[in-house]
Amino acid sequence: MKKRILCFLALVLFVSGLAQAQSRSLSDDPQVSNALKLIKIWVDTQLAYEDIPGMSMGVVHDQNLVWSHGFGYAHVEGKIPASPSTIYSICSISKLFTSISIMQLRDQGKLSLDDPLSKHLSWFKIKDAYPDAPEITLRGILTHSSGLPREADYPYWTGPEHNFPTREQIIERLSSQEELYPAETYFQYSNLGLTLAGEVVAAVSGQPYAEYVKQNILEPLGLKDTSPEIPAEHKGGRLATGYSRRLRDGSRKVIPFFLVNGIAPAAGFASTVEDLARFASWQLRLLEKAGKEIIAANTLKEMHRVHWMDPDWNTTWGLGFSVSRRDGKTYVGHGGSCPGYRTQLSICPKDKIAVIVMTNASDVSPASYARQIHDIITPALKKAIKEPDKAKKADKELEKFVGRYDRPLGSETHVIIWEGQLAMVSFPTDNPLRSLTKLKHIEKNIFRRVRSDDNLGEKIIFEIGEDGKVTRMIRNSNYAIRVR
């Protein structure tokens, strides 16, 4: 027995080491490395120009966390850096854990998605504004097509205290609330709905919601830093301080610490980039290997498919998962927005790539960052995998031109290596690829701009000092000074 255990541990260590080696080799590929450098420069400048407190990010490829990084501060006042292990409220990403719990119980035959909510919650009594409409079902709740109002009847999104109601308070007020739409008519995002789904998990399983999720999802997946409620014990430490939007005077207010209480199944969870990377890796693993791990592979595929489309054909939703199409690819995941925190988990199953973005500012769009990171890193990863020995390595002589160039009272431009050549990117920008301009080396320190039609434009000349270092970049007779 002891020998078997030792062999098993050796196998685990071997597989783990192999995965880490693959991760390192991908991030060391020249094109992947340069793509990651562009992401770092972009995010760093965005934090500076937008005065964003902090951000943590990660990229998963084929079950491996190939890159993670922290920017800015988890706590601005103490200048404590943000990192991939910084804890953030993930707010509505919580809904994925609740939805998976429902599907686990469905697969065990303990409930049906077409069950009326009232079958499992005897106290569910909301004013029936549409008596001729279908009943409110679990399927309707997971797809946000149940017709329920968006929120429980308390002003918990209103600061400064953000007093989220308890379970008892939610139940007490429910009978005074009214259906917003007839069931199965329109998409209406509903925190109340997923809160009630959590109550169903507790009622059907016979366990408190938080206990059920810990035992059946978090612990089996090794999500040791993920919790169904914001962890008060990490306040001022690993838990990032939340900050308000940027006010008119340029300042940000500290958001007072809060607990989500009864709304936890819809918005209470906290996690890290590293844990959400494990959560994404599990999904990519299950999709590839099939079988069962937490839930069956077919169940996860079912959750990733579109189950609701609004009459305008613009809003689509899976079972708990947001599902969207862009450039011919399907993206699944969820975003989160709580006072002081914004987060995004975005997975492209076809590319086997997931992006995690977390921030402690109320006015940042992590979905926009995730979208740009997908667009920057995906082509580089594909090339690194398809042609590992054909990566375009830049001439070492080009390295001396790389750096930041500032024009007085003008833009900040970074010269980078891109596809084996030089390129310029001006910041700040919402879309670094769109702001990227490729350069063609002509001779010595002279380059020309490459137009979108691949013809050559004006000259870009780098001035070099007596010490051999570049001092300025000249374009159209104007110059930018090299800062670093």
Asked whether residue 306 is assigned to any structural domain, the reply reads yes
pLDDT at 10: 43
Domain CATH code at residue 416: 2.40.128.50
How long a stretch of residues is the chain?
484
For the chain, the domain total comes to 2
Contact partners, residue 470, CB within 8 Å, separation at least 6:
400, 401, 403, 445, 462, 463, 464, 482
Q: Taking 50 as the threshold, does the pLDDT of residue 265 lie above it?
A: yes
Contact partners, residue 20, CB within 8 Å, separation at least 6:
64
pLDDT at 1: 44
Asked whether residue 72 is assigned to any structural domain, the reply reads no
- Indicate if 205 and 94 belong to the same structural domain: yes
Distance CA 262, CA 168 (A): 8
pLDDT average, residue stretch 108-130: 97
Average pLDDT of every residue of the chain? 93
pLDDT average, residue stretch 204-212: 98
What's the sign of the alpha-carbon dihedral 454, 455, 461, 467? Answer: positive
- For residue 115, give the amino acid letter: D
pLDDT at 396: 85
- Indicate if 407 and 369 belong to the same structural domain: no
Q: Are residues 457 and 476 in contact, defined by beta-carbon separation less than 8 angstroms?
A: no
Using pLDDT thresholds of 50, 70 and 90, give the confidence band for residue 26. confident
Q: Taking 60 as the threshold, does the pLDDT of residue 7 lie above it?
A: no
In tens, the pLDDT along 178-193 reads: 999 999 999 999 999 9
- Indicate if 319 and 373 belong to the same structural domain: yes
- Indicate if 267 and 329 belong to the same structural domain: yes
The share of the chain scoring above pLDDT 70, in percent, equals: 94
Q: Angle formed by the axes of helices 366-386 and 30-50, to 10°?
A: 170
What is the residue whose two structure tokens read 């996690």?
Answer: 271
Q: Label residues 93-108 b or e (16+ Cβ within 10 Å = b).
A: bbbbbbbbbbbbbbee
In tens, the pLDDT along 50-63 reads: 999 999 999 999 99
Asked whether residue 80 is assigned to any structural domain, the reply reads no
Helix H, strand E, coil C: the string for 270-331 is EECHHHHHHHHHHHHHHHHHCCEECEEHHHHHHHHCCCEECCCCCCEECCCCEEEEECCEEE
In tens, the pLDDT along 393-404 reads: 668 889 999 999
Using pLDDT thresholds of 50, 70 and 90, give the confidence band for residue 4. very low
Q: Which of 379, 408, 423 is the last residue in one of the domains?
A: 379
Asked whether residue 429 is assigned to any structural domain, the reply reads yes
Q: Are residues 322 and 334 in contact, defined by beta-carbon separation less than 8 angstroms?
A: yes
Q: Which two tokens stand for residue 422?
A: 């030089």
- Indicate if 375 and 403 belong to the same structural domain: no
Q: Taking 90 as the threshold, does the pLDDT of residue 480 lie above it?
A: yes
In tens, the pLDDT along 397-444 reads: 899 999 999 988 878 999 999 999 999 999 999 999 999 999 999 999
Q: Which of 323, 346, 379 is the last residue in one of the domains?
A: 379
Q: Taking 80 as the threshold, does the pLDDT of residue 9 lie above it?
A: no
- Indicate if 279 and 405 belong to the same structural domain: no
> In whole angstroms, how large is the CA radius of gyration of the chain?
25
pLDDT average, residue stretch 127-148: 97
Q: Which of 116, 124, 138, 137 is nearest to 171 (CA)?
A: 124
Asked whether residue 20 is assigned to any structural domain, the reply reads no
pLDDT at 392: 61
- Indicate if 401 and 306 belong to the same structural domain: no
Asked whether residue 364 is assigned to any structural domain, the reply reads yes
Using pLDDT thresholds of 50, 70 and 90, give the confidence band for residue 11. very low
Range of the domain at 221: 90-379
- Indicate if 97 and 215 belong to the same structural domain: yes
In tens, the pLDDT along 371-394 reads: 999 999 999 999 999 877 665 666
Q: Which two tokens stand for residue 29?
A: 């590929």
Asked whether residue 358 is assigned to any structural domain, the reply reads yes
- Indicate if 236 and 315 belong to the same structural domain: yes
C-alpha distances (whole Å) from 23 to each of 61, 384, 401 are 8, 12, 29
- Indicate if 374 and 474 belong to the same structural domain: no
Q: Taking 70 as the threshold, does the pLDDT of residue 229 lie above it?
A: yes
- For residue 374, give the amino acid letter: H
Q: Which of 315, 348, 379 is the last residue in one of the domains?
A: 379
- Indicate if 233 and 189 belong to the same structural domain: yes
Q: Which helix (H) or strand (E) holds 113?
A: none
Asked whether residue 18 is assigned to any structural domain, the reply reads no
- Indicate if 163 and 192 belong to the same structural domain: yes
pLDDT at 386: 86
> pTM for this one?
0.92
Domain CATH code at residue 329: 3.40.710.10
